[in-house]
A and B are shown apart, each in its own frame.
Chain A
Amino acid sequence: GDSVTQMEGPVTLSEEAFLTINCTYTATGYPSLFWYVQYPGEGLQLLLKATKADDKGSNKGFEATYRKETTSFHLEKGSVQVSDSAVYFCALSADRGSTLGRLYFGRGTQLTVWP
């Protein structure tokens, strides 16, 4: 079945450090891939997305590239800020069949950035 494997956290970084959060997936067909961010006490916000192989999603300095050959969608940011502290979820959505419309989430990675 469809699934997402996300690196374990928590991740603790100093401000301006480089961030990578690994995400790999298992899916049939051509899923869409997403990164969502959840700040404390809030719902999920879409951070970026990619809908086909080799697409690069980017937003607010974050980037992720849809790599079909390695079934990966790793999140990166060159210089993190304290305000980036949140939980990050990698997610997949199937493109067809009975699972149409549902999101499969990774476990989430807590990021804490210290000044």
Chain B
Amino acid sequence: DTEVTQTPKHLVMGMTNKKSLKCEQHMGHRAMYWYKQKAKKPPELMFVYSYEKLSINESVPSRFSPECPNSSLLNLHLHALQPEDSALYLCASSLLTDARVNTEAFFGQGTRLTVV
């Protein structure tokens, strides 16, 4: 199983809503990532979790709140978003071996988020 599963595939939310994006993998990967991708641009790193602990936060606004409840799951909680937050949100995972990362990252299909 080399799949990273993201739900939902599409999400439309108002600026006052609270929603969550979910990501799941069963490859035993202990590094998980959230990326944001705008149209015709490369993915931009938002957060990195290593062994279920937040290791990188790329100065993301607090209206995005990540959570890693266990080694297979990664959530991104959304609250009071702005229209400019509309984008494709990608989850990825990679294997951690001792102090090194086997840096081959597997990506999910993404959640297409529209903020209205």
Residue ranges of A at the interface with B (Cβ–Cβ < 8 Å) = 32, 34, 36, 41-46, 49, 51, 89, 93, 95-96, 100-103, 105-108, 110
Contact = CB atoms under 8 A, between A and B. Distances in A.
Interface string B91-116: 01010100011011111111010000
A46 B106 contact: yes
Contact of A95 (B6, B42, B100, B108): B100
15 contacts: A32-B104, A43-B108, A43-B110, A46-B104, A49-B104, A93-B103, A101-B55, A101-B96, A102-B48, A105-B42, A106-B42, A108-B40, A108-B41, A108-B42, A110-B40
Contacts, number: 64
Of A51, A93, A96, A106, most B-chain CB atoms within 10 Å: A93
A43 B109 contact: yes
A62 B16 CA distance: 46
Contacts of A42: 109-110
A96 B108 CA distance: 25
A41 B45 CA distance: 19
A111 to B, nearest CB: 14
Which 3 residue pairs are nearest across A and B when measured between Cβ atoms?
A: A93-B103, A105-B42, A44-B107
Chain B interface residue number, banded: 20 to 34
A95 to B, nearest CB: 7
A46 B101 contact: no
Contacts of B92: 44
Of B42, B108, B110, most A-chain CB atoms within 10 Å: B42
A34 B106 CA distance: 12
A95 B99 CA distance: 10
A93 B105 CA distance: 10
Contacts of B100: 95-96, 100
A45 B92 CA distance: 11
Of A44, A106, A107, most B-chain CB atoms within 10 Å: A44
A108 B37 CA distance: 12
